[in-house]
Structure 1
Amino acid sequence: MNGMKTGRPGWRLSRFRSGLPGAFLLVVLALVAVLTAGCQKKETKTDEKIINVRAATVEKKSLRPSVEAVGTLKPFQEVVISPEVDGIIRKLYVEEGSSVAKGMVLAEINETDYRLDLERAEAALKQAEATLANVKVEYSRKDALYKEQLVTQQQFDDITTRVTLATGDVDRARAALSMARERYSRSRVRSPMAGAVREKRVTAGDFVRTGTPMLWIVRSNPIKLSFSVPEKDVSSLKLGQEVDFRVDSFPGRTFTGRLMSIYPSLDEKTRTLQAEAHIPNPQGLLKPGFFARVTLYTGPAKDTVVIPITSILYENALKKVFLVEGDRAREVKIQIGGKYGESMAVLEGLQGGEQIVVVGQNTLADGVKVNVAR
């Protein structure tokens, strides 16, 4: 009896203890669920994503409308120097890079044979002139005798024919002498213009024939700028208008010339029109082959809204930017104009003074919250 009484309360206590962890676990799980739901609701209400961006002020500047292009500097004139007579080059007076004047002797071809030809031609002319002089003396004598009928008609006709033939011999001898002198003078190769030697393909001692390319002479003052413009800008081209350009060899410096030539037709492959400007180059600073960034001005200066090129987003045919208004981003569609260095003109959509996103705009959407980094 004592054992039974003693055992029943113990059994109840044991059962109570064994059920305690399960009940406690249920209570804990319920509390976690309630807290989690509350936190999620709180986060949904208060945690809105903020995007960091950088912004700049939209500027309005007084700018001249222009067309941007790229081009290459070329010689104003270039000639290939070739000998006009065959022979061995006896002397060569220039090297690549040498400056030359118009009429300057560039090279001498061995003139021995041409000098001998000249001397023979001179002697032949003297002989022909002497023969003609003798024939004329005889003609004068027979002419007098013929008038007195002391010589026959045949004799007079013979002397007349001899005068004609001797006169022809003198004319031919003079022509031969002129040609001999020309060949002799051409043994000296001269420059047809002032400029500089761009390339030399021969050396003293080489045998050259008529027409063999020997030297390339270029004239670079003035120098020529060749560039092309897109089809949409062709109407902006006018002969005589000002052309500015920059080259990498002189950073920060702008050179100016005038538009002197506009090609008559577009390149069908690139849909661009070729044009040429002439630029004074008295000091020879500009060299043929320089790459040039060209600005062609098309009108007077006017107030223009400009924004950084990097701020513009392209969406098919649309162009858009994001403005910062308060702590929100606003999408604005724009119409762009010409390029001015690293800036782009805006024709429609902006007035100037707005805050425009220049970094971080690729991740924005209209109305999102932004933080402008300082």
Structure 2
Amino acid sequence: MSKKSVIGLLAVALLAGASYYVVKHGIPGRHAPAHRGAPAQTVAAQTAQMQTWQPAMELVGELRASKGADLALQVSGIVQSLSFESGDTVQAGAPLLRLVADDQAAKLDSLKATAEVNALILKRDTEQLKIKAVSQATVDNDEANLKNAKALVAQQQALVAQYSLTAAFAGRLGIRGVDLGQYLSAGTTIVTLQALDPLFADFFVPQQFFGRLKVGQPTKVKVDSFPGQEFAAAVSAINAKVETGSRNVKVRAVLNNPDGRLVPGMFAKVALEIDAAEKFVTLPQTAIVSNPYGSTVFVLDKGADGKGLVARETFVKLGQARGDFVAVVSGLKEGETVVVAGQIKLRNGTPVVIDNNNIPEAKLDPKVSD
């Protein structure tokens, strides 16, 4: 065996021995056992509690309108009238804008007059046919002329309608992009119309969770504009394919927005509830001491004489965090008293006195004001 191999084996053995020592005796240095007769240290402590948490994935998404469109006309012309202001709430079919269409309206009147004449000719020839004054071919030709005239009228009516803009659905208008008297080219965006209640939240879920998705699944949505607030939503649709680039599946949730505070395009944080609720032993996150060896907490036990409390350091395995709390998967039991402030003064066996007068209350859903 080469010299380098021997050195490598010795290094591995030393690391393994150090890890065993840490697990058995605690972290060396400041956490060495306290000397007998050491003065009591004042700390803050709380009891480890069992809480029921609903497992959830934190995802990012975007808010979309249930109906949304940038309104435009398919013909060109000069704006003759405007019937809305920026930010108006409108109903479906409400008139919004009209272009100058005098020549098209005049042509429509002419076509209507021609149709009326054709109708009179057909009526007269039908009566003449009864007394054999005209042939059947004449009446048939009159009927064709009338149908053609009516078709031309309908065509012109559709063209005239293109010079007017109405709300395609109920919603809120955005900022007006045109003014009275302005010339508009076909396709120019006039204003955006967005239906704000309900809204959609679109987000992506990793494909390994595809089998755990279902319509109606509860979700919670947060936006930066309203910190600390959650908006209830539910999954309404799951895409029929997985995106080939990211291997994520697109999911859509629907949420009510009756007051219109949320608007399409907002960045959203989506908490998707998965599986059944679970129970965890939980602690305030301030109780956790993180170091290269792992995460530890100081548990308070009764002293050897049955009086007072002494600190005992123990390793814990942590789960998910929520608000000011963190779940402890192993290493701690419900009901044990754990130090949440003042750990820096402690070693194994240090006598302690509890004083909780100056510690803030830990919360699952802390607000900015907290």
TM-score by length of 1: 0.68
Question: 312, 328, 337: which is aligned to 1:346?
Answer: 328
Matched, 1:225 2:201: yes
Cα displacement string for residues 312-357 of structure 1 (whole angstroms, at most 9, x for unaligned residues): 7486xx9633334565663424152x44223232333322334556
The structure-2 alpha-carbon separation of the partners of 1:133 and 1:271, relative to structure 1 and needing over 3 Å to count, comes to closer
**Contact kept? 1:57, 1:356, Cα under 8 Å:** yes
TM-superposed CA distance for 1:279, in Å, is: 1.5
TM-superposed CA distance for 1:98, in Å, is: 1.3
TM-superposed CA distance for 1:104, in Å, is: 0.1
The structure-2 alpha-carbon separation of the partners of 1:269 and 1:52, relative to structure 1 and needing over 3 Å to count, comes to farther
The equivalent of 2:166 in structure 1 is 190
Counterpart-to-counterpart distance in 1, 2:194 and 2:146: 44
The structure-2 alpha-carbon separation of the partners of 1:129 and 1:106, relative to structure 1 and needing over 3 Å to count, comes to same
Structure 2 residue identity aligned to 1:162: T
Structure 2 residue identity aligned to 1:195: G
Counterpart-to-counterpart distance in 2, 1:110 and 1:343: 66
The equivalent of 1:334 in structure 2 is 317
Task: Say which SS state the counterpart of residue 175 (structure 1) adopts.
Answer: helix
Which protein shows a greater Rg?
1
**Contact kept? 1:71, 1:226, Cα under 8 Å:** yes
Q: How many residues align?
A: 312
The structure-2 alpha-carbon separation of the partners of 1:296 and 1:322, relative to structure 1 and needing over 3 Å to count, comes to same
Structure 2 residue identity aligned to 1:100: V
Structure 2 residue identity aligned to 1:198: G
> Equivalent residues in 2 for 1:281-296 (5 A)?
281-296=257-272
Question: 277, 294, 303: which is aligned to 2:279?
Answer: 303
Counterpart-to-counterpart distance in 1, 2:224 and 2:234: 20
Higher helix fraction (1 or 2): 1
Task: Say which SS state the counterpart of residue 222 (structure 1) adopts.
Answer: strand
The equivalent of 1:14 in structure 2 is none
> Equivalent residues in 2 for 1:40-59 (5 A)?
57-59=47-49
- Segment of structure 1 superposing worse, 204-213 or 91-100: 204-213
Structure 2 residue identity aligned to 1:226: D
Matched, 1:114 2:97: no
Identity between Structure 1 and Structure 2 (%): 24
TM-superposed CA distance for 1:115, in Å, is: 1.2
Q: Which ranges of structure 1 fall in alignment gaps of 5 or more residues?
A: 1-44, 145-155
Task: Say which SS state the counterpart of residue 118 (structure 1) adopts.
Answer: helix
Task: Say which SS state the counterpart of residue 263 (structure 1) adopts.
Answer: strand
The structure-2 alpha-carbon separation of the partners of 1:96 and 1:339, relative to structure 1 and needing over 3 Å to count, comes to farther
**Contact kept? 2:316, 2:328, Cα under 8 Å:** no
> Equivalent residues in 2 for 1:158-169 (5 A)?
159-169=135-145
Matched, 1:131 2:121: yes
Matched, 1:105 2:95: yes
Matched, 1:323 2:306: no
The equivalent of 1:11 in structure 2 is none
The equivalent of 1:75 in structure 2 is 65
TM-superposed CA distance for 1:306, in Å, is: 1.9
The equivalent of 2:78 in structure 1 is 88
**Aligned-residue CA RMSD in angstroms?**
3.9
Structure 2 residue identity aligned to 1:254: E
Structure 1 residue identity aligned to 2:213: L
**Contact kept? 1:329, 1:364, Cα under 8 Å:** no
The equivalent of 1:7 in structure 2 is none
Cα displacement string for residues 235-276 of structure 1 (whole angstroms, at most 9, x for unaligned residues): 443211222334444455432222112234445665544322
TM-superposed CA distance for 1:175, in Å, is: 0.5
Structure 2 residue identity aligned to 1:65: P
TM-superposed CA distance for 1:277, in Å, is: 1.6
